[in-house]
A and B are shown apart, each in its own frame.
Chain A
Amino acid sequence: MEKIETLESIPKIDYSRIENPIVERIFRKYDEFSQQATLDNVRNICGHRAHSDHHKSGGGGCYLTTACVDAMSLPDNCLELSVLRNFRDKILMPTSKGRKSVGEYCRIAPEIVQSVNEGEDAQNIWQSTYKDIRHAVSLVLSGNFEGAFEHYQQMTSKLRDKYLD
Chain B
Amino acid sequence: MINEDELDVRKPLNVIIEPTHECNLSCKYCYVDKNVEKGRMDNKTLENSIQKIAIFHGKNIKSSFEWHGGEPLLVGLDFYENVIKIQKEMGIGYEFENSIQTNGTLITEEIADFFKENNFSNPGLSLDGPQKLNDMTRQYKNGRGTFDDILKSIKILRERGMEANIIVTLNKCNIKYVEQIYQFLKDEEINARFNPVTISGRAIENSQELAISPDDYKEAKLNLYNLWMKDKQPPHLLCLENTLKNILSENIFCDCTFSNSCQGNFISIDPQGNVYPCGEFDGNKEFRYGNINEDSLEIILSNPMRKQLLKRAESIEECKGCDYQKLCGGGCMRNAYAFDDNVFGKDPHCSTYKELFSSFSDFIQIIGLKGGKNGKN
Contacts and interface: CB of A to CB of B under 8 A. Distances in A.
Interface residues of A, number: 24
Interface centre among B367, B368, B370 (most CB of A within 10 A): B367
Nearest to B8: A96
A26 B252 contact: no
B75 interface: no
B248 interface: yes
A15 B241 CA distance: 17
A14 interface: yes
Interface in A1-30: 11-15, 17-23, 26-27, 30
6 contacts: A11-B373, A12-B368, A13-B367, A17-B367, A19-B232, A142-B372
Contact of A17 (B9, B245, B366, B372): B366
Given A11-B368, A12-B368, A13-B368, A20 B234 contact: yes
A153 B245 CA distance: 27
Interface string B282-326: 000000000000000000000000000000000000000000000
B252 A145 contact: yes
B75 to A, nearest CB: 31
Given A95-B11, A145-B252, A22 B368 contact: no
Nearest to A142: B372
Contact of B9 (A15, A91, A96): A96
A95 B10 contact: yes
A14 B12 CA distance: 36
A144 interface: yes
Contacts of B367: 13-15, 17-18, 27
B249 interface: yes
Nearest to B236: A22
Contacts of B370: 11
A22 B185 CA distance: 15
Interface string A22-46: 1100110010000000000000000
A22 B12 contact: no
A96 B9 CA distance: 7
